[in-house]
Amino acid sequence: MKDHEYWWDRSGASDPEIAKLERLLSPLGYRPSRRRMEAVGYLQAGLALAAVLVLFWLAEPHRSGPPDTGWSVNVLAGTPRIGAQALTGTGTLLPGQWLMTDDSSAAEIVVSDRGHVRLEPGSRLYLVTTDTLGRRVRLTEGMVHVAVWGPSGGFVVETPAASAADLEGEYTLTVDARGHGLLCVESGWVSLERNGRTALVPSGAQCEMRPGRGPGTPYLAGASTDYLELLRAFDFDSAQTAPVNELIDLASPCNAFSLVYLVDRVEPMQRGRIFDRVTALYPPWSGITRAGIVALETSMVATWQDQFECFESEVCRASCLPDVL
């Protein structure tokens, strides 16, 4: 039995019978309310208003309670700086201060008791607030790795292109010198938002973002170069005619996932083509119909996207990451 542990913990080679049962039965399983996740987009906008209200509340003379305290920072490598102050060992990052690393230094921020944020070399991060109503930092350049647990949307990373709010999980966020961002989600969900444009990025997926445009369309890390170039043109290049048909033609197990997220941004005829192409690769969960997707029935579209909630296609994994298998 030890040689065939797939039935126990999915280790080892896949057991075809069990895998078949999983495929058949998983649509009957628990599905978290996606509307709750979508509400995070509104939550982010609401947090701004809440922050204003909190400022008024703080100004009340009778208010008592802990002030907006800082977070502990540990040096991981080299000599990071908090403002102009070089950091050795440990320090405290206060709201309104910058934490900066050069090419040979790195630091870890302990987010109260909710997790940690690792600042990689060559990064600049500004602490906006540690208030429990909405912990918020701003990454202007470099890379952070975030592993924070707690209420959905309770930790926000602002970038020049979009704001990332976690729905409990772990992710990496990178910003280059142009302000272009890349989000890679390792577990859980992360919501990206800017100027009313939102993207919900699940575990195993990535999403690019551009200043002035906001987040693009999530995709799997193994998507092909051709597909990514077309997707970028669709997401960010307003001068080009949207290459939707070409995107659909390039659909494969590695990129079908992102097509599902395009349905509410394309014409009805293209929605039908997307449905046909994706469902040829992955049969839809029960209750999801072509007519409903073409008509953009909200709950049906959300359910279809939930089908790819935590995605790991065996074929895609094998063909896209041969070096690590």
Partner 1 sequence: MWSRVVRTAYTGREQHTSNSVVTSAKRFDRPVDWSRSGLHLRRVPPRDHVHSPPLSRWVEESQAGRRESFDALTRHYAAMVHGILLSHAPRAEAEDLLQDVFIKAWQNLGGLREVEAFGPWLATLARNRATDFHRRKRSEVSIDALDPADPSAGRHAEAVRVLELIRTLPETYRETLVLRLVEGLTGPEIALCTGLTHGSVRVNLHRGLQLLREKLGVVK
Structure tokens at 207: 């999403």
- Which of 156, 192, 159, 195 has its CA nearest to residue 177? 159
Q: Which of residues 30-69 bind partner 1 (CB under 8 A)?
A: 30, 32
Cβ 20 to partner 1 shortest distance, Å: 8
Stretch that binds partner 1, among 48-56, 60-68, 217-225, 296-304 (CB under 8 A): 217-225
Site size toward partner 1 (CB under 8 A) is 90
Across the chain, the runs of DSSP E, i.e. the strands, are: 71-77, 81-82, 85-86, 90-93, 98-101, 106-111, 115-119, 123-129, 135-148, 155-158, 163-166, 169-175, 181-187, 189-194, 197-202, 205-210, 214-215, 219-220
Select the residue interacting with partner 1 from 145, 210, 271, 273 (CB under 8 A): 145
Mask: binding to partner 1, 170-189, rule CB under 8 A, as x and -? x-x-x-x-----x-xxxx--
Select the residue interacting with partner 1 from 221, 233, 246, 265 (CB under 8 A): 221
CB neighbours of 158 closer than 8 A, spacing ≥ 6? 128, 136, 137, 138, 139, 164
Cβ 295 to partner 1 shortest distance, Å: 14
Select the residue interacting with partner 1 from 266, 288, 300, 301 (CB under 8 A): 288
Going by their DSSP bridges, the two strands 90-93 and 135-148 should be labelled as unpaired
Cβ neighbourhood burial of 61 (10 Å; 0-12, 13-18, 19+)? exposed
**Residue 275 engages partner 1 in binding (rule: CB under 8 A):** no
- Is residue 99 within 8 Å of 127, Cβ to Cβ? yes
**Nearer Cβ to partner 1, position 184 or 262?**
184
**Residue 307 engages partner 1 in binding (rule: CB under 8 A):** yes
Cβ 260 to partner 1 shortest distance, Å: 11
Cβ 61 to partner 1 shortest distance, Å: 27
**Would you give the end-to-end CA distance of the chain in angstroms?**
22
C-alpha–C-alpha distance, residues 166 and 202, integer Å? 10
**Nearer Cβ to partner 1, position 20 or 83?**
20
Q: Which of residues 236-265 bind partner 1 (CB under 8 A)?
A: 252-254
- Is residue 87 within 8 Å of 75, Cβ to Cβ? yes
C-alpha–C-alpha distance, residues 284 and 297, integer Å? 15
Stretch that binds partner 1, among 56-64, 76-84, 148-156, 262-270 (CB under 8 A): 148-156
Select the residue interacting with partner 1 from 139, 200, 223, 263 (CB under 8 A): 223
Select the residue interacting with partner 1 from 38, 68, 120, 246 (CB under 8 A): 120
**Nearer Cβ to partner 1, position 126 or 311?**
311
Residue 212: φ, ψ to 5° = 85, -20
**Residue 157 engages partner 1 in binding (rule: CB under 8 A):** no
Mask: binding to partner 1, 76-115, rule CB under 8 A, as x and -? -------------------------------------x-x
